[in-house]
Structure formats: structure tokens, C-alpha cells
Amino acid sequence: MTLERPLPLETGGTLPGVRLAYETWGTPAPDGSNAVLVLHALTGDSHAAGPAEPGHPTPGWWDGLIGPGRPLDTDRYFVVVPNVLGGCQGSTGPASLRPDGRRPWGGSFPYITQRDQVAAEVQLADALGIDRWALVVGGSMGGMRALEWAVSQPDRVAALLLLATTGAASAEQIAWANAQIQAIRSDPGFRGGDYYDAAPGQGPHTGLGIARKIAHVTYRSEPELRVRFGRRPQGDEDPFRGGRFAVESYLDHHADKLVRRFDANSYIVLTETMNGHDVGRGRGGMAAALRRVTARTLVAGVDSDRLYPLYQQQELAAGIPGADRLRVIESPAGHDGFLIEIEQVGALIEELLKG
Ligand SMILES: CC(=O)SCCNC(=O)CCNC(=O)[C@H](O)C(C)(C)COP(=O)(O)OP(=O)(O)OC[C@H]1O[C@@H](n2cnc3c(N)ncnc32)[C@H](O)[C@@H]1OP(=O)(O)O
Ligand SMILES: N[C@@H](CCO)C(=O)O
């Protein structure tokens, strides 16, 4: 849908003609009381559930959680999943046309924040007639927006599930992001972000791929990589004669996959929104901001997450008045555990919705 009003941006100016792509499952109750908002992470999209289909070569990224009889039971709940503002899977982002309709924003897409993204989602909720979400849930970057929703719109969030996320990006998170952004910007194919008319294969694919590799290592754990790959060579390749270790081939694979489905400018824009995330900014600090939350809340982290360590979720659980004790998802998969440990995440959703 196209937002009715131009979107005022936190750093000034407005973004006109904002489109938000979204998918829904289930049926809204007449009073709108059964609506659940699911917010995706950095490279996710609105296709959270459903089988692989044309345009979506893989099943929804939380397919195990959303559907009839599943923790987000679509026989009971109306589940809404928007693609984030700044993204590249249907919502307005750098690949969208500028207001003059002649060329894409490219490198001149405005700097946006998590608060701008949530403000756009508020307009989407208004348009859908949803006054109050029964649950807002998100992991990682999605958790940042879920938290922003609960802080900026406390009356509109009945329950809140925050997974593997933080109240403010840490120095280390910004540092990893810096290397990723630089990898993209230094690719000669990036051309200041104005590469959409480049010949096939001439875009900033190498830079985006390197960014994904850096990120992917931080998304997983050292023990997992050790056990899965160790020092094994890839197939019959010989790392001492120009071949690869298996873990290198694994990273190549994840880089190739992302390059085929994601836009480098969006990667930068969204990474910068995460760097800018600080729920306490202009609100008297983190503790004061968290006290605004009135939702029944669960906060969970992944025990092997080296990117969003448990202390960050502990800070949220301790600071949000309606939060129960911190829950820990047990997984060797590191930060990606919130996408992979479906049974444990499902149990948290069921517990919160029962409450
Ligand atoms: C169109 C779309 O893809 S929509 C997807 C939307 N995006 C999202 O949801 C973002 C969030 N998702 C993700 O980041 C990832 O998909 C995750 C975290 C869920 C993946 O986690 P896992 O299931 O643990 O996958 P894992 O990291 O083990 O990687 C498996 C892949 O590595 C490949 N692989 C494993 N070992 C190797 C190796 N030595 N060399 C090359 N490839 C390898 C596997 O073949 C498999 O490939 P496939 O995904 O193409 O089938
Ligand atoms: N692997 C996930 C996690 C990011 O937090 C993604 O690509 O979106």
C-alpha cells in the first residue's frame, strides 16, 4: 500500500509516496483485537510463511511458526508482516523511483532511522484499521522495531516478544557494520550507489558478498563452525594449491545467495538504521525509554549469540516494567538461532499469547 501522508523523517524532511509491501495470514476479528505484527530482520521480507512459490524460491522464513495450529495460529490470529521501509522486497527503498519518477533514488536515498520505519508501520496499521496489536514480535533488527513500537506507541502494543536484540547498537555491532558497509562502498561497481543501470553482473556484487560473509560469521558461533567444518577442505579441493576450506565454500554460498536476492544500497541503508538504533535517544536515556513500555513482555536471547550477547537482552528484561525474567534460547547456531530454533521460539510465543 502507499501511505496516505508523506513520512516525516527523524533527521528532517519528508519522504513522499512511501509504499510498504506486506503479507497477511488469517482473518481480522471485527474489533481488530487478534492482529499480530511480525517484524523481519536485516535480509528478511514479508514472506514469513507459506511454501516456496514463484517469486519465493524458499518457504517463508518463519513458516514453522505461522499457520493453522502453529504458535501464531492463523485460525485465531491475523498475522501482518510488512517489508521494512528502506528494504528491497516491495517497500520503498533506494531502488525505488524518486518522486520525479525518472530514476531510482540510488545513493541519494535519505538517511532513515528505526523510528521512521516504525512511523511508516504505524500508518500501515491505521490503514488496516488495527488500533492495538495483540502481539508485536521481532528478532534482531525486527526486535529493534518491535521495541520502538512498544516505546513510541505503548497503548497500541498488548504483548511484546523481543528476540536476540538490543536497546541500542553497541560499539562492536557498529564496528562489524562499518566493515560491511565499507566492503560495499569500495567495490568499483558501487558507483556511489547509482549502479541500477549497470550491465548485468557489473553491480557491487563482490562488495555485497564480502559484507554478507563478514556478517554471516558474526551470525553463527565458533563451536558450530568448528564442529560443522573444522579444517576440512571443500570436496576434493586442496587449500594448499588454490582450493578452499569447506567453511570458505560455505561462506561463498551464503554470499552468492544474498547477492541474488538483495540490493546493496538497501543493505547499507538498513545497516545504518541499526547503527543508529538507540531507544533512549531524546527520551532521557535507555532506562527512561524502557519504562514507557506497558506491554506484557518476554525478552529472549540465544546462548551462543556473539553479535547480540545476552547482556543486551538482560538489560531489556530488567528495564521493561511488564517483562518476565530473561529467557535463553539454547542453540549452537549463534545469532541466527532466533530463525532456526523454531520450537523454542514457538513456546515463547504460546506462553506470551496465553498470558
Ligand atoms: C528468496 C529467499 O531466499 S527468502 C529468504 C528470506 N531471508 C531470510 O529469511 C533471512 C533470514 N534467513 C537466513 O539468514 C538464513 O536463511 C538462515 C539463517 C535461516 C539459514 O540458516 P540454516 O538453515 O542454518 O542454514 P545454513 O547456514 O546451515 O546454510 C545452509 C546452506 O549452506 C549450504 N552449505 C553447507 N555447507 C556448505 C559448503 N561446505 N559449501 C557450500 N555450501 C554449503 C547448504 O547446501 C545450504 O544451502 P541452501 O540454503 O542453498 O539450501
Ligand atoms: N541471518 C539473518 C539475521 C540478521 O539478524 C538475516 O540475514 O536477516
Beta carbons of 290 and 127 less than 8 angstroms apart: no
**Every domain range in the chain assigned CATH 1.10.1740.110:** 173-271
Ligand 2 pocket member 42 (CB < 6 A): yes
Ligand 1 pocket member 61 (CB < 6 A): yes
pLDDT at position 67 is 97
pLDDT at position 355 is 78
Cα(353) to ligand 1 centroid in Å equals 30
Say if residue 302 is exposed, middle or buried (CB neighbours under 10 Å; 0-12, 13-18, 19+). buried
Q: Is 339 helix (H, G, I), strand (E, B) or coil?
A: helix
User: Which CATH number fits the domain 7-169+277-354, given the four candidates 1.10.10.10, 3.20.20.140, 3.40.50.1820, 3.40.50.10490?
Assistant: 3.40.50.1820
Distance CA 299, CA 146 (A): 11
77: left (phi over 0), alpha (psi -120 to 50) or beta: beta
Tell me which residues are annotated as active site: 140, 305, 335
Cα(94) to ligand 2 centroid in Å equals 20
Has 336 been labeled as part of a binding site?
Answer: yes
At 125-136, the pLDDT tens digits run 999 999 999 999
- Looking at CATH, the fold of the domain delimited by 173-271 is given as Rna Polymerase Sigma Factor; Chain: A (1.10.1740)
Beta carbons of 199 and 315 less than 8 angstroms apart: no
Taking 70 as the pLDDT cut, the residues of the chain under it are: none
Cα(42) to ligand 2 centroid in Å equals 5
pTM attached to this predicted model: 0.97
**Every domain range in the chain assigned CATH 3.40.50.1820:** 7-169+277-354
Has 212 been labeled as part of a binding site?
Answer: yes
Beta carbons of 124 and 260 less than 8 angstroms apart: no
Cβ count near 32 (within 10 Å): 16
